[in-house]
Structure 1
Amino acid sequence: MEEKKLDLNSIIGFVLIFGILIWIMYQNQPSEAAIVAEKAKKEQVAKEDKASKVVVNQDAEVPTIGAVGDTIQLAKLQKSLGNFAYSASLPSAKDTVTIIENDLVILKIANKGGYIVEATLKNFERFKKGSGQLVELIKDNNANLNVQLLTTDNRTLNTKDLFFEPILTKYGADQILSMRLKSGANEYLEYKYILKPNDYMIGFEIHSQGLKSVLDASKPLNIEWDLKSFRNEKSVSTENRYSEICYEYEDAKSNYIGQGTDKMEMVSDVSYVAFKQHFFCSVLLTDVPFKSAELHSNNLVHDDKIDTIYTKQFKAIIPIAFKNGEIDQKMNWYFGPSDYAILKTYDKNLEDIVPLGWGIFGWINRHAFIPMYGFLSMFIAPGWAIILFTILVKLFMSPVTYKSFLSQAKMKVLKPEITELGEKFKKDPMKKQQETMKLYNKAGVNPMAGCVPGLLQMPVFYALFQFFPSAISLRQKGFLWADDLSSFDSVYKLPFHVPAYGDHISLFPILASIAIFFYMKMTTGDQQMAAPQQEGMPDMAKIMKYMIYISPVMMLLFFNNYASGLSLYYFVSNTITIGIMLVIKNYIIDSDKIHAQIQVNKLKEPKKQGKFQRKLQEVMEQAEAQKAKDKKK
C-alpha cells in the first residue's frame, strides 16, 4: 500500500480551510453594540425597579431607547415611536448629564428626559454648619419633569422616557443649554436652560419646531412636575410644618396648600407654583399665566422618629396650549433659599412664599421687623441682634404698657367704693351695674382701658411668632449654647421620648417659661386686686390663678421643638417687661396722687358718655324696666 505524504498542496489547502473558518467565526461574533445591548438587558432584568419603559398605548410597551447601532431594536422602536425614534440613532441616546453652574448653584441635566437630575446650592449645608453636606434640592431621582406628547396617530409618549440631545453654548457670561428631542434632522421638541452668573433664577423655555404633522394640537400638552422634598433641617417636625405648596393666581393673589395627606386643589390663571421646603424652595414661574393647574401635596412625616428622610410629596399638572400648531412657552426655574430679601429682588411677588402672616401681621413684618432686624444683623451677631431687637420693640410698646398699668392702678383705687356698691345693691345686680358705670364715668375711669393695650400688643406678638421661624438669616447661626437659632437648642438628649415634648431638653424655652410665670404672677395679681367681684362669675379668680401655672407649662411643651431664636426673644421680652412693670409700679405710678385726682374728677361735671357706654347704659335700663314689668305681673 502506497504511503501518503503531506505535500505542499495539502498544506496550502489546510491553511485556506483554517482561514475560512476563522473568517466565518469572526463575521458571526456579536458586535460591540450587541454586547452592550445584551449587558444592558441583563442589568435591566436584575434591576427592574430602575428600568424604564416608554408607554405608547394602553396595550403595548417597548423598551427604552438603548444601544446605538442595534438595527433590530431600532426597527422595533421605529415602529412603536414613529418619528421620535430618530433620537435612538443619536450619540446622546445614553444616560449622561450636562453640568451648568455659577457661584450659587450646580445643575446637572440628563439626556434622558432632558430635566434636572441634581440641583445643589453651593452656600448652604444640611442639618448643621460644618456637616460638609451641601443642600441638594434635587438628587437620587426625587424629582421629575414630564411632558405628555399626544401624536396624530393616537399615541401617548412621555418625554421623561426619551433621550434629548444637549447643545451647550455661551452668550457672554450666560450659559445656554439646549436639550432637543429630535423627530428628524430639523424637527424637534426643545427645552432651553439659561443660567446667568450669581443668580438662583434659571431661564426655561419649551419650544417645538416642525412637529405640526406629528403632534395632535387639538388638546393642550400636560406638564407634569413632581418633587419629593428631602429633609435639610435638624428638626424634621418643624421643617415639615413649614413645607407646603405656594402659588400665585388670578393677578397677584397668593395662597398655599397646607398640611395633611393627599391635599389637592384646582386653580386658574397661575403665575407660579412653588414647592417650598421651609428655608428653601423650587419654583416654576411663567411669563404668561397658565390657564389652570392641578396641585397635589402629600405629607410623608407620620412619625418624626421614623420618617426622617423626606417631608412632603409635591406634584403639579399644568396644561400648556399650542400656538399655530407648535409649542412656545417661556418660563423660569428658581432653585434657592426662601429668603425674603432675595425673592423680593425678582419683582414677581415671590416674597409671598415666605409665611409672614396675613393682613396687619404680615404688614408689620414686611415694613417694620424685617428692615429693623436686617439692619441690626449687619453690625452685630444674630443672637445679640435678637436681644437688641427685643429691647427696641419693648421700648416702642412701653407707652402701651404704661397705659395698661395706669388703668389697673385707677381700678385698684376705686375697688373699695365698688365693693361698697356691691354690698349696697347685693340683691339687685342690675342696679349695681348701673351705679358702678356711673361711678366710673364720674371718676373719669374707663374699665376697658386695661384691655385695649393688651389687644394692641396682640398683632405684634403674632407677627413675631411668624417672623422668627421664617428668618433664614438665623439658620445655623449660634448664640451661647444654641448652635442654630432657627431650630431647638438641645442641652441634654433624653434616653426616651416624651409625648408633646420630645426626646431632648431645650434651655431657652425653660428660661422663657420661668419669665412668663413671674410676669403673669405680677400682672394677674394686680388685675385681681383691681377688678371687682362680678356676680355669676365666682370662679374667675381661681381660673386666673390656674392660668399662672398652665401658661408656662404650655410654653415649655410647645417651644421645646421650636426655633430657639423665638424662645430667646420671649425670654428677653418678658424679662424686660417685668423690669418695666417694677419701674412703673414703684417709681412712676403714685396711688395717692391717682386717688386725689379721682376725687377731683368726681367734683367735676361728668364726662359725656361714649357711644359704647351710652349703649350699654340703655341696655341695662331696658333690662331693669323689663324686670320691674315682670314683677308687676
Structure 2
Amino acid sequence: MQQNNGLDKNQLINFAVLTLVLFGALFYFQNRQAENYKNQQKTEQKTDAKTVQDNTLQNNVPAVPEGEIQTVSLKNKDLTLAINGLGGQLSSVMMNNYKAYNSKTDKDDQPLYLMNDKSSSYGFRFKEKNGKVIDTRNLLFTPQVNGNTVTMTASVDGATIQYVYTIMDDYRVDFKVRTNGLAAISDGSDADFVWNYDVLAAEKGRRQEQNHSEFVYAFDNYGNTDYDSRGEMEEDKVTLNWLAVKQQFFTSIIESKTGFTHSTGKQDLVETGKEIKKFSYGGRVKISGDEFNQDFTWYFMPLNIDLLKSYDKEFDKILPLGWSIIGWVNRIFFINMYNLLSSWGIAAGWVIFLMTIVVKIILSPIMYKQHKLSAMMKVIRPEIEEVNEKYKDADAMKRQQETMAVYRKAGVNQLAGCLPGLIQIPIFYALFRFFPNMLDLRGKSFWFANDLTAYDDVIKFPYSIPILGDHLSIFALACTAVMLIYTVMTAGNMQQPTQQGMPNMKPLMYIFPITFLFFLNSEASGLSWYYFVSNTINIIIILVIKNWILDEKKIHAQIQANKTKPKKEGKFQKRMREMMEKAQEQQRLQEQQRKNRK
C-alpha cells in the first residue's frame, strides 16, 4: 500500500504559488479600488459644486455671506445640537455621555459627534410650475428659539417654508415641516428628500468600523427590516418607515410618519481622513392638500439593545447580532449572560473569562463524546490499515465498503464526530457578532488592551506589513499559539488517507491557526481573549480525558464486545450501503460491457 505521510514537493509549491497569487490579487484590487475612489471623489466634488451653483441660480438665492448665517443650539442630558441657518439643517450632533477615540492618546477622550462640520446635508426638493426646483439646502432660514423648540423660517418665490425642531428629553428630535403658499407655485408632484451623510470616525480600528457602518431600514408598517452594507440600495416597491445610518456603536435615524417611497441609496468607503464612509440617500414624501405638512423624527442613539427596544419601532434590528439561530444565541444567551456576570462588578475581561467557562461546561458532554470517538478511531486504526492492505488492489468502492463494515461492527459512528462541530458553528459566528457590537464592552480595558472591542497594539511597527497591518496584537498572538498546541494534540487522532493518491490533510491543519492570526490581529481583542481561554480549556479537557477519564484498554474491550452483538443498521447507514452497492453494481456492468465490446 502506498503511504502518504504529508504534502509532496509539488503540492507545497502549488499551494505557495496559489497563496501568492491570491495575496497579489488582493493588493492589486485594493490599490485599484483606492485609485478609482480618489478619481471618483474628484469627479463628485466637481459635480456637487456645479449642482449647488445650478440650484442656487434656479432658486434665485444669491450666495450668502457667512456672517449672515445664524446658528442656534439645543441641548438635553443626552444630546447637544446645532442648527444652521443655511438649509435650516442640523449641522452638529454631539453625544454628551460618550467620547470618540483619539489616536494620539490611544483613549476615548474626544467629543463624539455624529454630525459636525458639514458632514451631513439634508433637505427637500419641490418642483415649481415653471420647471424650476426649490432645494431647501440652499435657502437661508431665520431661527426663532422658544424653550426647547427652534423654528427655522425661509421664503422663496412667495412661499414660506418652516422647519420646527423640538428636542425631547432623550435621544429624539421632533422635526416638522410646514409650508404656506407652496400650492400657488408647486406643480403638485411629491417632494424629494435628499440626505448626504459622511460618517465620522469614532472608534479605534478604521477597517472594523467601516465594516460595521451600513444602511438599515424598516418597511411594511414596521413589520420588516433590511440592511445594505456594501453596494447600492434600491427599494422602489416598498414604503420605508425609517432609515438609519448605522455606525459600529451609534446610529442616526430619520423616521417619516407617512413614509419614504422610491428609495435609492449609495455608500462608498473613505480610505483616509476623519470620515470613514460616505452615504447618500434619496426618497419621495407625499404632498397632501397642495401644501407640504409632514412630521418626522430624528433619533441619535447608542446601540444599546434595551434602549432600542424601548421605542417599539424595531430599532433593535439595527444591532447586527446575526440572523436566525445566530441572532437568537446572542440575544437570548450571550447578552443576558454578559449582563448578569457584569452586574457582579467584575472587570469586563474576567466576565469574558467566566462566559467562556460557562460555554465549555454546557458543551462538555458533547466534547467528551467527541474525544471518546477519537479514541475509538485510534484503537481500530490497525484494523482499518489491515483492510486497506487487504483490498489495496480492489476498486475504491469495495475498499470503502469494507472500511465501513469495520466501523459498523466496532460500534463506531463516524457521523457522531460532526455533531460537535455543527453545534459550535452558531456559537462561533455569534461571537464574531457579539464582541465588536457590544456597547457595554466599548472602552473597557483589560491587560494589554485599552478597548476590548478593538485590537490591542502594544507591539507597533514603523511601517505597515501586508495583510498584518502596522501592529501585532498580543491577544491574537497568544490565541494563535494555543490553537497550534491544540492542533498538535488533536492531529494525532486524525485518520491517515485510506486511498492511494489522497493527500494527507494534517499539514493543512497547522496552516489554519497561522492564517487566523492575520484575521484576529485587527479584530476585537475581546474575541481573541475569548478564543485564547476557550482553546486553553480545550487543552486541559483533552489532558484530563486522556489521562483520567478514557482508558484505551477499556475502549478496546468495549469494541470487541460490540463486535459480538447483533447490529441494527440505521436508516442513514442502510441508505449509504444501498447507494454504494448500487454504484458498485453499475461499475461492474460497465466493466462487463467494455469486455464484451472487446
One of 436, 441, 447 as aligned partner of 1:480 = 447
How far residue 65 of structure 1 moved from its aligned partner, in angstroms, is: 5.7
After superposition, residues 483-502 of structure 1 pair within 5 angstroms as 483-502=450-469
| Deviation string, structure 1 residues 542-581 (Cα, Å, up to 9, x no partner) | x322321x12221221111111111111111111111111
CA distance in 2, matches of 1:57, 1:64: 9
CA distance in 2, matches of 1:502, 1:341: 36
TM-score with structure 2 length normalisation? 0.85
Q: Does 1:627 align with 2:587?
A: yes
After superposition, residues 110-509 of structure 1 pair within 5 angstroms as 110-128=84-102, 132-170=109-147, 175-182=148-155, 188-197=160-169, 199-217=170-188, 219-251=189-221, 252-259=223-230, 263-267=232-236, 268-301=238-271, 307-379=272-344, 380-428=346-394, 429-509=396-476
Larger radius of gyration: 1
Structure 1 segments unaligned to the other structure (5+ residues): 1-48, 68-92, 302-306
One-letter amino acid matched to 1:265: E
CA distance in 1, matches of 2:71, 2:51: 18
Question: Retained in 1: the 8 A contact 2:143–2:151?
Answer: yes
CA distance in 1, matches of 2:65, 2:502: 82
CA distance in 1, matches of 2:243, 2:554: 62
CA distance in 2, matches of 1:57, 1:625: 83
CA distance in 1, matches of 2:282, 2:348: 41
Number of residue equivalences: 539
CA distance in 2, matches of 1:50, 1:363: 49
State the secondary structure of the residue aligned to 2:493.
helix
Q: Does 1:546 align with 2:508?
A: yes
Moved more, 323-332 or 386-395: 323-332
One-letter amino acid matched to 2:254: L
Question: For the structure 1 residues 286 and 536, does the alpha-carbon distance in structure 2 shift closer, same or farther, using more than 3 Å as the test?
Answer: farther
Question: For the structure 1 residues 271 and 52, does the alpha-carbon distance in structure 2 shift closer, same or farther, using more than 3 Å as the test?
Answer: closer
One-letter amino acid matched to 1:178: T
How far residue 274 of structure 1 moved from its aligned partner, in angstroms, is: 1.4
After superposition, residues 589-628 of structure 1 pair within 5 angstroms as 589-607=550-568, 609-628=569-588
Partner of 2:10: none
CA distance in 1, matches of 2:274, 2:157: 43
| Deviation string, structure 1 residues 74-121 (Cα, Å, up to 9, x no partner) | xxxxxxxxxxxxxxxxxxx93111211111110111222111011011
Moved more, 461-470 or 126-135: 126-135
| Deviation string, structure 1 residues 113-133 (Cα, Å, up to 9, x no partner) | 111011011111111576542
How far residue 489 of structure 1 moved from its aligned partner, in angstroms, is: 0.6
How far residue 338 of structure 1 moved from its aligned partner, in angstroms, is: 2.5
Structure 2 segments unaligned to the other structure (5+ residues): 1-48
After superposition, residues 70-81 of structure 1 pair within 5 angstroms as none
How far residue 182 of structure 1 moved from its aligned partner, in angstroms, is: 4.1
How far residue 277 of structure 1 moved from its aligned partner, in angstroms, is: 2.2
Partner of 1:26: none
Question: Retained in 1: the 8 A contact 2:108–2:443?
Answer: no
How far residue 583 of structure 1 moved from its aligned partner, in angstroms, is: 1.2
| Deviation string, structure 1 residues 281-310 (Cα, Å, up to 9, x no partner) | 211122333222111111112xxxxx1321
State the secondary structure of the residue aligned to 2:424.
helix
Q: Percent identity, aligned pairs only?
A: 36
Question: Retained in 2: the 8 A contact 1:65–1:162?
Answer: no
Moved more, 511-520 or 447-456: 447-456
Moved more, 221-230 or 129-138: 129-138
One-letter amino acid matched to 1:214: I
How far residue 346 of structure 1 moved from its aligned partner, in angstroms, is: 1.5
CA distance in 1, matches of 2:353, 2:57: 64
Partner of 2:63: 64
CA distance in 2, matches of 1:147, 1:552: 53
One-letter amino acid matched to 1:223: F
Q: Does 1:581 align with 2:542?
A: yes
| Deviation string, structure 1 residues 391-445 (Cα, Å, up to 9, x no partner) | 1111111122111111111222222222222222222232232222233223322
